[in-house]
Structure 1
Amino acid sequence: MQSNQPQFIDVSQLQVGMYVHLDLGWMDHPFTLSNFKVKDEEQISIIKKTGLKKVRYDPKRSDCAPLEIPANKPIEMVSVETNKSIEATIEDKPTEVVSKNERLKELHHAINECEKKFINTSNIARQATRNILTDPKAAVEQAVLIVNDMVDTALMEGDVAVHALNGNRSSDANYVHPLNVTVLALLMAKSIEMSKEDARLLGLAALFHDIGKAEISDKILLKKEPLTKSEQTHYEQHSEIGARMAQEAGLPVRIGKIILQHHEHADGSGYPKHLRGEQTDQLARLVALVNGYDNLCNPNNFATAKTPYEALAHMYANQRTKYDESLLKRLIKSLGIYPPGSIVQLSTGSYATVISVNPNKPLRPFVMLHDPLSSRHEPQILDLREEPGINISACLRPNQLPLDVLDYLNPRKRISYFMDADLSHNNNEPT
């Protein structure tokens, strides 16, 4: 009897009308989405050229069953719910068995420590960006303190990962846009092996990139509707104002340049000078990229917010000409196919929030599971590397969740990120 659960099949079994999931990043296939119904033979040919040997298909959403397995090519068709999936043969085996209860305690401890550090850092970041006008010396000293700490974490430790804060200690009120941009920028610094000196300049520029908004009317800054032409012109002045303020605060000249250029675009559509590509500082191009990503996820108007998954897909599909494409690909690789903060449905039917990416296995992140039997304050956390029989089936928006799941997972309106050691460091399993 044919199972209604998603199944792994060989690519030779594909036919038109099947609903498939491609376990690939956006850069590795030309389709708009990674899951879709196959509409013609050309799409099947393209899927085969990606190098995938197996794909998942969803019987419920398919118009037909897989083709028969060729007699000369035996293949095991495996339900993704079983514990004997294809991936089980390639998953790393733990060198030391740790009970799940002990592992869960370790994970909760690591997440709580990360959240405590995040709250402290977000408070200092808020003070530093607020005080740049009234007490620039103290503001810069505060900023240097937290940026140096983050640079050390990013560059000096082994694997680091970005965590989406969704615990019990912090809230939407702890969201600080400049800190999010700084965290994401320094994660990128790690991925491109940036020098410590440049990373410190980058961190300070990212933290202070919006200081010019101190001289922009709150009426404009907090407006949820689109700005009028005159309002937009006034708003765009914050880049030049910020560069001037950076100079007055005694920050290095290059930081002022990055602040000035953080809204320039590779295609010349940015401001204030409409510079293109190489005409801008590389660090400015990096800040422009992560600033654009965070603005998509955390806009003034919550109704227009994109999920992290949607934001990266949108940037890659529709905004590649605006950004340095090589940096955009690095961002997608660093945040993973399912970025922290994403709400997902697992192959078991359960819902979860992605809290951290496994740097070496982007398809198998850490997730916080909706489990009515577990306390909301001590939720079940799964490391999907350790669950070879469970896969992510879909990324969802909050309004697609059942009400009880929404209440339990309690997704933030604002997504706050913080960088810390990869959670797998708290495991005895090698990465």
Structure 2
Amino acid sequence: MKTINIKELQPGMFVVGVIKQAGHVRVKNQGWVRDEKGINNLIHSGVLEVEIDPDKTLDQSKTEPEIIEEVITSAKPDPWHKSVSVEAELGQAVKMYEQAKQLQEKAFSDIKEGRKIDIAEFKETASGFIDSVFRNQDALACIARIREKDGYLLEHSLNVSILMSIFAKHLGFDRELIEELATGALLHDIGKIKIPDDILQKPDKLSENEFAIMREHAKYSHDIVKDSGLGEIAAEIAGFHHERLDGTGYPYAKQGDELSQYVRMVSIIDVYDALTADRVYKVGMTPIQAFKKLRAGCPHEFDGDLLNQFIHCIGMYPVGTLVKLKSHRVGIVAASNPTSPLQPIVKVFYNAKNMFHVEVRDVDLSDKRIDDELDAAVKPEEFGLDLIKFFRHSMLP
């Protein structure tokens, strides 16, 4: 991928997304710029920089014009519109997240006891997530980044559901479809309840036989969700989230066109959340490290175009990420800035150079009066910081 100034854009180039703009344009879909008119539409809409895929640039002298798709026909409403502040949404989002964890525990208990899960409760939870995402997605996105090390089994499915809601919203899916995707994501690992605890909770690497047993959880998840009557899309998400485009995934070794767009989306999200999660036996990667690992799996394992969209959707420094600024101040990314992803609002509370806590304050890196910028994503362990404690005491209302 390559970022270029809008003035450098030429007919035949393949536009992946808008990187910088003065307005609120949403690219209708990825595609080729047909002609100068399409470029002028972007310029007049306030687009300043775009990301292109140089490998897909067309030689128009050898290409029939009708196969070149225009990227944008008119300005679209800003999909990142936030009707409430992140501060106003956080309290409700935390309550919703805790209730969802309790629902997961109840579902695991029900299945162990041979009872059917109450699908209506899961649909209600997914609907609540979506409502929150549409009010201000930064609240739930933040919670999904800050979690307990020993809560992975329950929290992973919640985080995948939240990220799926955000991703589906970003792609412009309708509400009904987003609900099925989010509910399927909530249940995508439900089959793990049928895996023996000594394998499921093992802190070390699984043996070949143990891994073969663990892989069966996707089949169990597929059957449980399918039997619930939730829908085929949700069942696919539950059963196929470990499948890969080149057929190397499990449990069915599906590949290529056998994997729907929705399955391709959840496979990216599932791996991203697993890579970035802190667990009792390992420290999670930073989002950028996880993105690099996912990119290394393109195009054989993961859909490269969808991965790019996912990165655009949550940002290189997602809300909830601990970052260090050039000034050596350390803080949590508290609010996203989709028009300028490298200039979010950071809630700083620590000085990495002098190793002491500082007064908590919001630093809006897009403010021209602020002479500071992002340096790197960091881990709380580097500075002995308790991120969960800070979140509870300084970010919640």
CA spacing shift, 1:237–1:366, aligned 2, 3 Å: same
Tell me what 1:127 maps to.
102
Pairwise CA distance, 1:365: 1.2
Tell me what 1:349 maps to.
328
Query: C-alpha distance in 1, partners of 2:358/2:370?
Result: 26
2:164 partner letter: A
1:201 partner letter: E
The higher relative CO (CA closer than 8 Å, separation ≥ 6) is in 1
Tell me what 1:380 maps to.
361
Residues 1:147 and 2:147 aligned together: no
1:395 partner letter: A
Tell me what 1:254 maps to.
233
Query: C-alpha distance in 2, partners of 1:302/1:412?
Result: 18
Percentage of pairs with the same residue = 25
Deviation string 1:32-51 (CA, Å, 9 cap, x unpaired) is: xxxxxxxxxxxxxxxxxxxx
Tell me what 2:312 maps to.
333
Tell me what 1:393 maps to.
375
CA spacing shift, 1:333–1:167, aligned 2, 3 Å: closer
Greater C-alpha radius of gyration: 1
Query: C-alpha distance in 2, partners of 1:232/1:143?
Result: 29
CA spacing shift, 1:228–1:192, aligned 2, 3 Å: same
In the TM superposition, 1:173-322 aligns within 5 A as 176-298=155-277, 300-318=279-297, 320-322=299-301
Residues 1:411 and 2:387 aligned together: yes
1:143 partner letter: F
Query: C-alpha distance in 1, partners of 2:289/2:376?
Result: 12
User: Are the equivalent residues in 2 in contact too, given 1:308–1:341 (CA < 8 A)?
Assistant: no
Pairwise CA distance, 1:150: 2.5
Query: C-alpha distance in 1, partners of 2:98/2:275?
Result: 23
User: Are the equivalent residues in 2 in contact too, given 1:339–1:354 (CA < 8 A)?
Assistant: yes
Tell me what 2:72 maps to.
none
Pairwise CA distance, 1:397: 3.3
CA spacing shift, 1:254–1:395, aligned 2, 3 Å: closer
Pairwise CA distance, 1:111: 4.8
Number of equivalences: 302
User: What's the secondary structure of 1:189's corresponding residue?
Assistant: helix
Pairwise CA distance, 1:112: 5.0
Pairwise CA distance, 1:192: 0.9
1:197 partner letter: E
Query: C-alpha distance in 1, partners of 2:336/2:344?
Result: 4
CA spacing shift, 1:320–1:379, aligned 2, 3 Å: farther
Pairwise CA distance, 1:215: 0.4
User: What's the secondary structure of 1:177's corresponding residue?
Assistant: helix
Tell me what 1:28 maps to.
2
User: Are the equivalent residues in 2 in contact too, given 1:309–1:339 (CA < 8 A)?
Assistant: no
In the TM superposition, 1:27-66 aligns within 5 A as 27-28=1-2
2:123 partner letter: V
1:392 partner letter: L
Query: C-alpha distance in 1, partners of 2:105/2:118?
Result: 8
1:243 partner letter: H
Query: C-alpha distance in 2, partners of 1:284/1:148?
Result: 20
Residues 1:116 and 2:94 aligned together: no
Query: C-alpha distance in 1, partners of 2:165/2:240?
Result: 18
CA spacing shift, 1:166–1:264, aligned 2, 3 Å: closer
User: What's the secondary structure of 1:132's corresponding residue?
Assistant: helix
Give the TM-score normalised by structure 2.
Answer: 0.67
Deviation string 1:54-113 (CA, Å, 9 cap, x unpaired) is: xxxxxxxxxxxxxxxxxxxxxxxxxxxxxxxxxxxx9xxxxxxxxxxxxxxxxxx95554
Deviation string 1:338-388 (CA, Å, 9 cap, x unpaired) is: 22333322122222222332122201112121247xx98982122211254
Give the TM-score normalised by structure 1.
Answer: 0.62
1:393 partner letter: D
Query: C-alpha distance in 2, partners of 1:164/1:378?
Result: 21
Pairwise CA distance, 1:272: 1.0
